[in-house]
């Protein structure tokens, strides 16, 4: 007894074979328009194919379902004329036994292929953009040479010191801290500096000797001490420099007591920072006030 599935397949093939003449007649009319020669070849091919399908149906009646699939696959390969398509058809039909329709399997394959291509393209584009940006950043944006540094600030010699005052009431004494006041105009308490040298030396000279009473213990001490002494103390402004806070242990000015009843007459030199944009050497302290004398009184 034949299985029900094979009977239905044989019946389907029988009906298809019965309808073959009508289909062939329609095809002959269409092919006559393109040429008598092509019509005969196509008709012969159709008849031979249907005959092979009938043979396959007979084989399936004997229970050989696998041979029918192989025969149909080989027939599809013959119609297309390529062995590659035949192998692809066999693989698809054999895989169909595991489950799912042909359309669903094709859709899955298309999705897999399209998904793989899109991911690859996205990765390539991203990597290309990142490399380009990195190159542009490393080469300064590719716009040309680096911009030139800003020009230095303009120099203006505008400091005009006039009068010196040592401590409150101009009563500075040896051994006591005091504030050095310099009155004038065009002064900058934040940047201008002052330095005290011996009375017979010249401001701005590299050989000028810094004022001292004992040779040591002076505050501030040496060139480094004077150029670091700030002149922005109390009452300072464009018309006055207040150098040092005048407090013991602070940053005021102090000359040690030599135990002699002598009065020292020192000279004050001012560094106009805006003239050279620096106050780092003795040559920078080249501005001499109108009355540059600093009087330091003895201890009585």
Residue 27, pLDDT > 90, answer no
The predicted pLDDT at position 201 comes to: 97
User: What is the layout of strands, in order, in the sheet containing 264-271?
Assistant: 193-198, 264-271, 293-296
The DSSP call for residue 150 is: P
Question: What is the CA angle 142-143-145, rounded to 5?
Answer: 95
User: Quick one: 264 and 209 in the same domain?
Assistant: yes
Report d(CA 67, CA 69) in Å as an integer. Answer: 5
pLDDT digits (tens, 9 = 90+) for 99-111: 556 677 777 777 6
> Quick one: average pLDDT of 16-33?
66
* Counted domains in the chain: 3
DSSP 45-110: HHHHHHHHHHHHHHHHHTT-HHHHHHHHHHHHHHHHT-HHHHHHHHHHHHHGGGSS-HHHHHHHHH
Of 227, 233, 272, the residue nearest 250 (C-alpha): 233
The predicted pLDDT at position 149 comes to: 83
For the ranges 10-14, 47-51, 152-156, 288-292, which has the lowest average pLDDT?
Answer: 47-51
User: Quick one: 83 and 208 in the same domain?
Assistant: no
Averaged confidence pLDDT in the chain: 74
User: Quick one: 93 and 185 in the same domain?
Assistant: no
Could you give the count of Cα atoms lying within 13 Å of 22 in the half-sphere of its Cβ?
5
pLDDT digits (tens, 9 = 90+) for 166-191: 988 888 999 999 999 999 999 999 99
- This prediction has a pTM of 0.51
User: What is the layout of strands, in order, in the sheet containing 160-166?
Assistant: 160-166, 180-185, 240-243
Of 236 and 145, the structure prediction assigns the larger pLDDT to 236
Cross-strand pairs, 181: 165, 242
The predicted pLDDT at position 9 comes to: 76
Using 50, 70 and 90 to split pLDDT, how confident is the model at 61?
A: very low
Using 50, 70 and 90 to split pLDDT, how confident is the model at 285?
A: very high
The predicted pLDDT at position 105 comes to: 74
CA distances to 29, 31, 43, 217 from 37, in Å: 13, 9, 10, 128
> Quick one: average pLDDT of 29-53?
50
Q: Which of 90, 105, 120 is the last residue of a domain?
A: 105
If you search the block for the tokens 């298809």, which residue do you land on? 16
User: Quick one: 164 and 67 in the same domain?
Assistant: no
Backbone angles phi, psi at 98, to 5 degrees: -70, -25
Structural domain harbouring 127:
106-139
Report d(CA 58, CA 13) in Å as an integer. Answer: 10
User: Quick one: 262 and 198 in the same domain?
Assistant: yes
Of 32, 54, 56, the residue nearest 43 (C-alpha): 32
The predicted pLDDT at position 11 comes to: 77
User: Quick one: 165 and 253 in the same domain?
Assistant: yes
User: Quick one: 58 and 126 in the same domain?
Assistant: no
* Residue 148, in any domain of the structure: no
């Amino acid at each position: 007894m034949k299985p029900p599935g094979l009977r239905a397949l044989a019946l389907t093939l029988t009906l298809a074979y019965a309808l073959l003449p009508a289909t062939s007649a329609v095809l002959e009319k269409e092919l006559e328009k393109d040429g008598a020669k092509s019509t005969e070849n196509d008709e012969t091919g159709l008849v031979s194919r249907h005959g092979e399908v009938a043979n396959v149906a007979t084989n399936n009646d004997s229970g050989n379902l696998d041979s029918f699939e192989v025969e149909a696959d080989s027939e599809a390969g013959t119609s297309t004329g390529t062995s590659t398509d035949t192998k692809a058809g066999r693989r698809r039909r054999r895989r169909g036994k595991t489950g799912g329709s042909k359309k669903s399997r094709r859709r899955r394959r298309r999705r897999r292929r399209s998904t793989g291509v899109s991911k690859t393209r996205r990765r390539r584009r991203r990597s290309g953009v990142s490399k380009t940006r990195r190159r542009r950043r490393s080469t300064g944006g590719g716009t040309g040479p680096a911009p030139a540094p800003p020009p230095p600030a303009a120099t203006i010699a505008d400091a005009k010191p006039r009068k010196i005052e040592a401590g409150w009431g101009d009563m500075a004494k040896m051994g006591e801290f005091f504030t050095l006041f310099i009155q004038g105009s065009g002064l900058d308490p934040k940047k201008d500096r002052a330095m005290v040298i011996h009375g017979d030396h010249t401001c701005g000279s590299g050989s000028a000797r810094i004022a001292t009473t004992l040779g040591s213990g002076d505050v501030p001490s040496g060139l480094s001490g004077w150029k670091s002494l700030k002149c922005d103390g109390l009452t300072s402004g464009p018309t006055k420099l207040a150098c040092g806070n005048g407090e013991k242990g602070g940053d005021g000015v102090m000359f040690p007591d030599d135990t002699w009843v002598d009065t020292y007459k020192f000279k004050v030199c001012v560094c106009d920072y805006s003239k050279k944009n620096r106050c780092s050497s003795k040559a920078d302290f080249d501005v001499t006030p109108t009355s540059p004398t600093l009087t330091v009184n003895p201890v009585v």
